[in-house]
A and B are shown apart, each in its own frame.
Chain A
C-alpha cells in the first residue's frame, strides 16, 4: 500500500465513523431522510458563505453550511407544525428548493469558479491526500482526515456526555420532557451535529455517500441488537467495514470510490437483512416454518386426545382419517405424523395413532392455554 492509499482509507474510515454515530439516532428517531435533506440543502449555505468571504477553503464555508443545515430542520419543522403538510412532504419540498437556490446562485454568479455542483453529489475521495493541512510548516496529514477526526470526536463527546438524555429523548420524548431533559434542545444539537458531519463529509465523499454512511451501517446494527450502546458500536463497525472494503472494490474495479462504498453498504445491508439472527428474512422464514409444524403437531395431539378412549377412536385416530378431519393435504398429514412420532408425542401401530404421555401433556397444555 502506498501512503496515499493508506491515507484515503483513513479518511474513509474517519468519515464512516463520524457519520455512523449521529446516524444511529436518526434512524431510531425515524428521521433518516433528514440526512438526505440536510446533505443537499447545505449547498446554498456554502455558496452564500463563499460569496461573503470570497475564498473556497475558508472555514466559514463550513459554518455557512451548518447554518443552512439547521435552517432546513427549522423550515421542515415549522412547515409540518402548521399541520397543512405532512412531515415527509415538508422534507421533500424544502431540500430541493434550497438545493435549487444553491444551483442557481452558482450558475448565475459563480459560473467561472470551481464550485462544481456534480462534486457536491459525488465527491472525490481520491483527491483527499493532496489537500494537506500544515501548521507552522508541520504536515498534519490530509485536511479531510483532520476535519473528519475532529467532527467524529465532537460527535462522540456529545453522545457520551448526553447518552442517557439522548436515549430517553429518542425512545420516550414525553418522559424526557417531563423530567426536564429538554428533548427539543437535544434534538436541535443532534441536527446541528448531523449538519456539521454532512458538511465535513460531503467535501470528501459527496452528499450521497453521506446518506449511505449515516443510514446504512446503523440500519444493519439495528437488525442485530436491541441495545443502544451495542448498536452504536456495531454501526461504527459496519461503517469501517464498508469504508475499507468499498475502497478496495473501487481500487479493483478502478471506479468511483464513493460509489463503491455506497454499493458495499447496500450489499452488507442486504446480507444482514437476509441473515440477521431473529430479525433476518432467513430466520423469520425458519421461525414461520417451525411454528407451522409445531402448530400442526399440537393440532394432531389435540385431535387424538379428543377421541382417546371413546368408541369412535378406532375410526378417528387413524392416519388416513386426518386428511378428512383436519383438512390437511395427504403428504402434509404424513409429514406431521412423522414429525410427531420423531418428537415422541405419538406412536403409530398398525395405521392407528396413539398419544404418548408427552403428547397427552402437550394437548392438555394447548387446550388449557386456549
Chain B
C-alpha cells in the first residue's frame, strides 16, 4: 500500500487531495461540532449543487475554482437563509436545515436537467458532485484545494481567539465588545469553504461525515480546543489518505465512501478507546466501582452483624451474608477478594469474621460516610 502511494503518480495526487480536504474539513468541523451545528454541513453541501450548475452555465468552465465559487455562493446563501429564518420565525434549526437542503438540491436537479438538454453540453463531470469522484482529481485541482484550504486555515489561525469565544461563550465575547455577528459570519464562511473544497472528491451526500467524523473523534481525546482542532485535522487527513489508497488497491471501490468509512472507524475507535471519556474506560470504571461497592457493603454487613455481639470479629455464616448482599452478585466473590486484602478471615468451614484491618477499614468507611453527610448539609 505504501509502495503504491510512493510510486504511483495518480494515486499520490488523489491521496494528497484527499488528505488536504480531510485536514481542512476536519479542522473546520471542530467548530461546527462544538457549536452544535453539525448538520449545517449537510445542508450546505446539498445547497451547493445549484451553485455548481449555475457556475458552469455561466462560464462554461469546469475548472475547480469556478465551480467552487458557485458552490460557495449558494452554500453561503443557504446558511444565511437557515440562520435568519431560525432567528426571525419560530421555525426550528433542524426544520430550516431540512428545507434548505432538499429545496436547494431540488433546484440543482432542475438546473441539471436543463443542462442535459443543451446540445453542446459536456456536463458529464457535474454529476460526479453527487457522489464525488476523488479518483478524477488532477494536480491543478489539488493545487487549488491546497491554496484555498491553506487560506482558510490561515484565517482560523488569525482569528483563533475570536472563534474560540464564539464556540464557547458568545455572550462573554459581546461583553468584551467583540462584533460576534461578524466573527460568526466569518466562521460560517470558512466552514462553507471547507465543504466546497471537499465536494468534488466526496460528493454532497458524504461531505457531512468528513466534517463531523474527525471532530467527533478528536473530541474524545482532549478537552482543549487547540488539541481537538489539531487531532481532527490529523484524523481527517489520515482518513483521506487511507481512503484514497484503499480504494486504489481494488477496482470498483469508490473513494468517497471508503474515506467516510475510514473516518467512521476513527470515530468508533475513539468512542470506545479514548482515555477517560471512552466507553471502555467507562465500563472498566463502572466495573471497578461496582466491585469496591459490593466489597464494602459485605464488610459493613459483617460489621453490623458483629456489633450485635460483644466483639467485632464475631464470625458469621456466609449464607447470612449472601442473604444480605446484592441478590445477583452474592457475597462469595467479595468475601474472597476481601480475604486477599486481609480484611476478613475464614473461620471454620463456612463462617467469616472481620480482621483488625477489616474493622479499621469499616470505621474509615463510616467516617467517610458521615463526613459526606455533613458535607451535604
Chain A residues engaging chain B, CB cutoff 8 angstroms: 27, 30-33, 35-36, 40, 79, 82, 84-86, 88-89, 91-93, 96-97, 99-101, 103-104, 107-108, 111, 117-118, 121-122, 208-209, 211-212, 214-216, 219, 222-223, 250, 253-256, 258-263, 265-266, 269, 273, 279-281, 284
Return the chain A residue nearest B97 by Cβ.
Answer: A33
Q: Does the CB pair B102–A97 fall under 8 Å?
A: no
**Can you show 12 pairs from A to B with CB atoms below 8 A apart?**
A27-B92, A85-B219, A91-B38, A97-B261, A99-B205, A100-B256, A104-B261, A107-B252, A212-B102, A212-B106, A279-B90, A281-B89
Residues of B close to A255: CB separation below 8 A: 109-110, 113-114
Segment from B54-62, B171-179, B208-216, B313-321 that makes contact with A: B208-216
In the bound complex, CA of A100 to CA of B254 (Å): 9
Contact between B99 and A215 (Cβ–Cβ < 8 Å)? yes
B25 interface residue (CB < 8 Å to A): no
**When the two chains form the complex, which single residue of A33, A99, A262 contacts B105, counting CB atoms closer than 8 Å?**
A262
Which of A40, A111, A219 has the largest count of B CB atoms less than 10 A from its CB?
A219
Q: A85-B219, A96-B205, A262-B103 are in contact. Are A36 and B42 (CB under 8 A)?
A: yes
A281 to B85, CA, bound (A): 9
Judge whether B271 is part of the interface by a CB distance below 8 angstroms: yes
B98 to chain A, nearest CB (A): 4
CB distance from A225 to the nearest CB of B (A): 12
Q: Let me know if B33 and A91 touch, CB within 8 A.
A: no
Check if A256 sits within 8 Å of B98, measured CB to CB: no
A73 to chain B, nearest CB (A): 15
**With the chains together, A266 CA to B101 CA distance in Å?**
10
Determine if A79 and B205 form an interchain contact, defined as CB atoms under 8 angstroms apart. Answer: no
Contact B110 A263 (CB under 8 A): yes
Question: Is the CB–CB distance between B89 and A223 below 8 Å?
Answer: yes
On chain B, the residues within 8 Å of A212 by CB distance are: 99, 102-103, 106
Kindly list 19 other residue pairs between chains A and B, CB separation below 8 angstroms, not including A33-B39, A33-B98, A255-B114.
A30-B94, A79-B271, A86-B38, A88-B94, A91-B39, A92-B38, A92-B42, A100-B261, A118-B131, A212-B99, A215-B98, A215-B102, A219-B91, A222-B90, A250-B110, A262-B106, A263-B107, A265-B103, A284-B88
Contact yes or no, A211 B271, CB < 8 A: no
Interface check B340, CB cutoff 8 A: no
Closest 3 CB pairs of A and B: A262-B106, A266-B103, A259-B109
**Which residue of chain A has the shortest Cβ distance to B254 in the bound complex?**
A107
Does B21 touch A at the CB level, under 8 Å?
Answer: no
**Is B349 at the interface (CB under 8 A from chain A)?**
no
Q: Are A93 and B264 in contact (CB under 8 A)?
A: yes
C-alpha spacing A212/B252, complex, angstroms: 32
Q: Which of B99, B209, B277 contacts A269 (CB 8 A)?
A: B99
- Which residues of A lie under 8 Å from residue B104 when comparing CB positions? 266
Q: Is the CB of B277 within 8 A of A84?
A: yes
- Residue B24 at the A interface, CB < 8 A? no
Cα–Cα, bound, A103→B257 (Å): 7
| A363→B212 CA distance, assembly (Å) | 56
Known A97-B209, A103-B131, A118-B127: A269·B103 in contact at CB below 8 Å: yes
The answer to whether B205 touches A262, judged by C-beta atoms less than 8 angstroms apart, is no
Residues of B with C-beta under 8 A to A27:
92, 94-95
Chain B residues with CB under 8 Å of A101's CB are 257, 261
The answer to whether A86 touches B254 (Cβ under 8 A) is no
Taking CB atoms, residues of chain B closer than 8 Å to A121 are: 130, 205
- A85's partner among B42, B216, B256 (CB-CB below 8 A) is B216
**Interfacial chain B residues near A89, Cβ < 8 Å:** 33, 38, 212, 215-216
Assess whether B260 is interfacial by the CB under 8 Å rule: yes
Candidate in B92, B109, B254 with the most chain A CB atoms within 10 angstroms = B109
Inter-chain contact A32/B94, CB cutoff 8 Å = yes
B206 within 8 A of A: yes
Is the pair A263, B205 in contact by a Cβ cutoff of 8 Å? no
Q: Which of A30, A104, A208, A263 contacts B253, CB < 8 Å?
A: A104
B258-295 vs A, CB cutoff 8 Å, 1 = contact: the mask equals 10110010010001000001110000000000000000
**CB proximity of B189 to chain A, nearest CB, Å:** 20
How many angstroms from the CA of A35 to the CA of B267 in the assembled complex? 23
Q: Is the CB of A211 within 8 A of B38?
A: no
Q: A27-B92, A222-B90 are in contact. Are A208 and B102 (CB under 8 A)?
A: yes
Q: Please, what's the 1-or-0 string for B143-175, where 1 marks a CB less than 8 Å from any CB in chain A?
A: 000000000000000000000000000000000
B220 within 8 A of partner (CB) = yes
A108 partner, pick from B37, B46, B103, B252, beta carbons under 8 A: B252
Would A104 and B130 count as touching, CB distance under 8 A? Answer: no
Q: Give Cα A258 to B113, complex, Å.
A: 11
Contact of A256 with B109 at beta-carbon distance under 8 Å, contacts A89-B33, A93-B264, A281-B88 already known:
yes
Closest chain B CB from A133 CB (angstroms)? 27
List chain B residues, Cβ under 8 A from A97: 209, 260-261, 264
CB neighbours of B95 from chain A (8 A): 27, 30, 32, 215, 219, 222
Residues of B within 8 Å of A216, CB to CB, are 98-99, 102-103
Given A30-B94, A92-B208, A96-B260: A258 and B39 within 8 A (CB)?
Answer: no
A257 CB to nearest chain B CB (Å): 9
> Which A residues are CB-close (under 8 A) to B90?
222-223, 279
- How close is B158's CB to chain A, nearest CB, in angstroms? 27
Chain B residues in 8 Å Cβ range of A118: 127, 130-131
A262 vs B113: C-alpha distance when bound (angstroms): 14
Within 8 A of A (CB), among B297-356: none
**Cross-chain contact A93 with B213 (CB below 8 angstroms):** yes
Q: Tell me which of B99, B101, B220, B253 has the highest count of chain A C-beta atoms within 10 A of its own C-beta.
A: B99
When C-beta atoms are compared, the residue in chain B nearest to A39 turns out to be B102
By beta carbon, the residue of chain B nearest A123 is B109
Q: Does the CB pair B110–A256 fall under 8 Å? A: yes
B276 to chain A, nearest CB (A): 11
Q: Name the one of B205, B215, B257, B264 contacting A40, with C-beta atoms under 8 angstroms.
A: B205
Contact B46 A208 (CB under 8 A): yes
Establish whether residues B99 and A266, one from each chain, have CB atoms under 8 Å apart when the complex forms.
yes
Q: How far, in Å, is B214 (CB) from chain A's closest CB?
A: 11
Contact check, B39 vs A88: say whether CB atoms are below 8 A apart.
yes
Fill in one digit per residue for B353-376: 1 if any A CB lies within 8 Å of its CB, else 0.
Answer: 000000000000000000000000
Chain A residues positioned under 8 Å from B264 (CB to CB): 93, 97, 100
